[in-house]
Structure 1
Amino acid sequence: MAIKWQPPDGAFSHTLGKAGGGGIVRDLAGKMLVAFATPLQAHSALEAELKAIHHGLILAKEFNHPIWLEVDCEQALNLLNGVSWGPPQVRHDVARLIVLKRQITLRASFIHREGNNVVDSLAKMGTEKTDYQRMTASSAPRLVRAMVRMEEMGMPNIRIRGEDPT
């Protein structure tokens, strides 16, 4: 099944106890406007995902356009869409997202992890950073620029049915 791109992602390693987030803001043609990679204070993958979404929405808000957020974590998407408040350890993050949603025009949908290759790479980069890093199309790492360019050209990522996404 062919899958194409999209935004914020949180990475969390139980073994290392590290979390990172990453995201990319694109124009309608898929060109990179700005991206980020950052370490996160999180105790679970869900918490990292919610914090990364918040960072990404704050960044996208700067462009003052409607935002289409694609998330590869269904639980985070459900919380963002107001299905519930989630477990106690993430309720503060959910509340911050609900307040932010009132300030923007937002559409949020699910995408498989393979459709988030650039963002997944940025989130993993975030686990290795000591502070927030903002990037432009010219300052992003070469691998990130190459992945963005491939997606701009319409090259899909591949997901094998039955493949374990973890």
Structure 2
Amino acid sequence: MANGNIKPTHWRGMHLRMKPPTQAETRRPRPLAMAVKWHPPDQPWIKVNTDGAYADATKKGGGGYILAAFSAPLEAQSALEAELLAIIHGTNLAKEFGRPIWVEADAEQVVKLINSTSWGPAHTRRAMTRIGILMRQHTIRTTFIHREGNKAADYLAKLGLDRTIFCRMSAETAPRMLKAIARMDEMGIPNIRVHDEDRE
């Protein structure tokens, strides 16, 4: 054993007094929690929080954007394309303010795609071309936020799944739930994100 190797001869005459398990022990995942908070943009940026939703059952897409409150149906073939189209709609609406545009989305894959040199899958290339044109014409940055910090846009995107026309909401016409979410964001109240370490 001087060289650190244990051989079967070293165990001769020894008896194991514990019963080895018959199957691998399953370890329960430990839930982890973190606070996620929406932050207003620094000057002179204008922040557009977007989200896209897609329902496989109905093959319908919906988009939501918080600049003012908008909800709209989207002609998308996947959740990825719905997210990209929501960003296009939100960015086009933000152009009228004439300020640098900060797009914040809760789809990490989409943010990485936009910030890379890739065009993504074939069915998203038209949307990626439109985003590329917007980024050449305007100062635009795109960042990721967890869904818990993007609740208002997520809520609007899901509303968009059931809409047939573009809908712009005011403080008077916005749903009560949306007003509550926006008010919590304005007050800086964080949402708690709970996930399993094995899934991250």
The reply to whether TM is greater than 0.5 is yes
Structure 1: distance between partners of 2:120 and 2:37 = 29
TM-score (normalizing by structure 2)? 0.74
List runs of 5+ in structure 2 lacking aligned partners.
Answer: 1-33, 39-47
Aligned equivalent of 2:131:
97
Q: Which of 185, 190, 195 is equivalent to 1:151?
A: 185
8 Å contact from structure 1 (residues 9, 72) kept in 2:
yes
Q: Are 2:73 and 1:73 aligned?
A: no
**C-alpha contact 1:12 1:20 (8 A) present in aligned 2:** yes
Equivalent position of 1:14 in the other structure: 56
TM-fit CA distance, 1:83: 3.0
Identity of aligned residues (%): 54
Q: TM-score, normalised by structure 1?
A: 0.88
Matched pairs, number: 157
**Per-residue CA distance 1:9-64 (angstroms, 9 max, x = gap):** 00001122221000101xxxxxxxx1210011111000000000000101111111
Q: Cα offset for 1:137?
A: 2.9
Partner of 2:70: 36
Answer 1 or 2: higher relative contact order, Cα 8 Å, separation at least 6. Answer: 1
Aligned pairs for 1:63-142 (under 5 A) are 63-142=97-176
Moved more, 94-103 or 66-75: 66-75
Question: Which residue in 2 is equivalent to 1:3?
Answer: 36
Spell out structure 1 runs of 4+ moving beyond 4 A: none
Contact 1:78/1:84 (8 A) holds in 2:
no
**Equivalent-residue separation in structure 2 for 1:156 and 1:164 (angstroms):** 24
Aligned equivalents of 1:141, 1:100: Cα separation in 2: 31
Query: 1:106-153: per-residue Cα shift (whole Å, max 9, x none)?
Result: 121111111111000000000011100112333322211111011100
Q: How does 1:45-64 map to 2 (within 5 A)?
A: 45-64=79-98
CA distance in structure 2 between the aligned counterparts of 1:119 and 1:61, rounded to whole angstroms: 18
Two-structure CA RMSD over aligned residues (Å): 1.8
- Using the TM superposition, give the Cα deviation of residue 163 of structure 1 relative to its aligned residue in structure 2, in angstroms: 8.2
The Cα offsets for residues 66-86 of structure 1, whole Å up to 9 and x where unpaired, read as 121111112211222233000
Q: Match of 1:23? A: 65
Where do 5+ consecutive residues of structure 1 fail to align? 26-33
SS at match of 1:102: helix
SS of the residue aligned with 2:132? helix
Larger Rg: 2
**Helix, strand or coil for the counterpart of 1:86?**
coil
